[in-house]
Structure 1
């Protein structure tokens, strides 16, 4: 019979990323691993319901079950009266049985927030006992109030009778991680919260490549198509004088500079600093001197038809998700979790007889 771990946390705390990394680690340890997201909040794309988390896990783990089995219940944002939740619970249990068949471990991905569907009997408090799941709590660190939020939810789950095996704080700025580790370990330990790791924010994990930027924008590539795997950590808009811009350009590493194709002065200034690519708006092609300099520096030059504002709006979400095809990010994620989360303790909690072997 499969053992399951229910990964629960706040919004945008990386629940699915934790599931993905643990699934890869456990699979590498020789275990048959499944994935289940009982309640999804899906988007409609071209008339089809699509949950990016489920698609990611299905492809990376090569799962045979269709998305409708891996995530059987879909709710909208206004969900209170949208679904027959008695039928939903029955459907969830039926499909969980299919997912857990012939598996050693099933990683269960929670809904958007811990409280989602609490009043409808389909939250983690209701479903974890039905699956026989142990619970792992992950929380996004924004400031010290995140420590108290983690403690509040951890203790709520324990008081609800759930078997909580541990927790983690994630997305911690690297410059602050030693302090967070010290104060959170002391505060949470004194409060009876078991912490299994502190995970730093790694810019490279959510930094897109130039290729991803170009695909998002539908850009034409004028130079250095063989350097499209360069990483973009920062987007800067060039709308000031070249002299003023140069001060900002020097402070930013691995950046993309967004500017009009007629701003030769800004482009030449950017090419004197650590620039991953130039994004030229308005469909304007640059002066030949810019293209020559970009070729010398190995910097791709992208041209897009949209104006600067529209271009920036399109760039807001680029790199915020991990695609199944991006092996670089997946490997980076797995290594990050291996180093910063005590996954061996989680494995022993799930499979004590084999985790101690």
Structure 2
């Protein structure tokens, strides 16, 4: 049986989406697959359980039978942290090992989703290098290319884990950087003994946020037809200037959400003259009938929030830039990109997997 540890050095690089894409393709190629998230620091409390939402989503999507306590066996909750700081004994390594043996039984390949950074998990003695050592799992590093500093990060990981680094997937590469990454960065890394399995372009659908996601994140109320909530938002703009300067300002970006005060109907109407996919009105002030009628005519949803504009902008900016994949359209698009840009044959060969 082969095991692959999917790692990253920062948040929101698409690590979970990569896990789903790999697992789906491996299933299509006839392999019996298993999945685990050995250590989770992103814990959600529900009325029925404490769980990792990404792990639960992948388990359901791939159709795995293993229970959640085995799929995500080590959850670092505030209670766990408190017990560790009090010096209480724990056996997280044994918990992880037992779960791995159970989930991997009768599987051809296991995909393990790593933590966001190499430091996470240190509190329970289960950092990425400790987990890969324990389970003898080679690592696929998923990284975002922003500049040549990204190469420094990849080389640092290689120096840290050595031969345990199986290779790298360079994700979310902006169009201006693609040729440089393909013709300069990739040959350089290959020359250093780091296989590059793929170069994934930044994709609008994947990097965008739906109106429903934004409304839920802000705790806002949507005015408009339910299907308008599926519209995608590429960016945010703030409406806080004078009306005369706002038109040229709003024209700079397409498919945007405009955040402005609920009492600024002048800016709202001007924003609707441009490529705007949502209005976010702050202060819990309902728009005028003129704004509502124009938004309805253009099928632009309006999100009402109670916070002031600055607080709303701060909260909204935290959502943008994250690659969340709990939508079938995003997942389908990412799988298509992975199939087109990832060298599965090379991965299978290095893992010792053979398609029957």
TM-score by length of 2: 0.88
Find the aligned partners of 1:247 and 1:197 in 2 and give their Cα distance. Answer: 39
Shift of 1:152: 2.5
CA distance change for structure 1 residues 94 and 225 in 2, over 3 Å: closer, same or farther?
closer
Find the aligned partners of 1:109 and 1:259 in 2 and give their Cα distance. Answer: 39
8 Å CA contact retained: 1:237, 1:258: yes
Does residue 295 of structure 1 match 2:296? yes
Q: Which residue of 1 aligns with 2:155?
A: 151
CA distance change for structure 1 residues 41 and 221 in 2, over 3 Å: closer, same or farther?
closer
Find the aligned partners of 1:202 and 1:100 in 2 and give their Cα distance. Answer: 33
Shift of 1:65: 2.2
Gaps of 5+ in 1: none
Matches within 5 A, 1:222-301: 222-301=223-302
CA distance change for structure 1 residues 279 and 125 in 2, over 3 Å: closer, same or farther?
closer
Aligned to 2:98, the other structure's residue is in SS state helix
Find the aligned partners of 1:350 and 1:284 in 2 and give their Cα distance. Answer: 58
Q: Which residue of 2 aligns with 1:194?
A: 195
Gaps of 5+ in 2: none
Matches within 5 A, 1:163-182: 164-182=165-183
Shift of 1:115: 4.7
Shift of 1:329: 1.0
Between stretches 93-102 and 25-34, larger displacement belongs to 25-34
Find the aligned partners of 1:59 and 1:331 in 2 and give their Cα distance. Answer: 15
Number of residues of Structure 1 aligned to a counterpart in Structure 2:
350
Find the aligned partners of 1:123 and 1:64 in 2 and give their Cα distance. Answer: 26
Instruction: State the Cα deviation string for residues 92-129 of structure 1 (Å, max 9, x = none).
Output: 11110111123221101122323545797634444335
CA distance change for structure 1 residues 75 and 224 in 2, over 3 Å: closer, same or farther?
closer
Find the aligned partners of 1:201 and 1:84 in 2 and give their Cα distance. Answer: 45
8 Å CA contact retained: 2:223, 2:301: yes
Find the aligned partners of 2:169 and 2:157 in 1 and give their Cα distance. Answer: 12
8 Å CA contact retained: 2:7, 2:15: yes
8 Å CA contact retained: 2:221, 2:305: yes
Matches within 5 A, 1:114-153: 114-116=118-120, 122-153=126-157
CA distance change for structure 1 residues 279 and 122 in 2, over 3 Å: closer, same or farther?
closer
Between stretches 213-222 and 242-251, larger displacement belongs to 213-222
Shift of 1:35: 0.8
Aligned to 1:181, the other structure's residue is in SS state helix
Between stretches 244-253 and 71-80, larger displacement belongs to 71-80
Aligned to 2:95, the other structure's residue is in SS state helix
Between stretches 207-216 and 44-53, larger displacement belongs to 44-53
8 Å CA contact retained: 1:172, 1:199: yes
Find the aligned partners of 1:210 and 1:285 in 2 and give their Cα distance. Answer: 18
CA distance change for structure 1 residues 85 and 186 in 2, over 3 Å: closer, same or farther?
farther
TM-score by length of 1: 0.87
Shift of 1:241: 1.2
Find the aligned partners of 1:145 and 1:290 in 2 and give their Cα distance. Answer: 46
Shift of 1:266: 0.9
Aligned to 2:172, the other structure's residue is in SS state strand
Shift of 1:323: 5.2
CA distance change for structure 1 residues 239 and 322 in 2, over 3 Å: closer, same or farther?
same
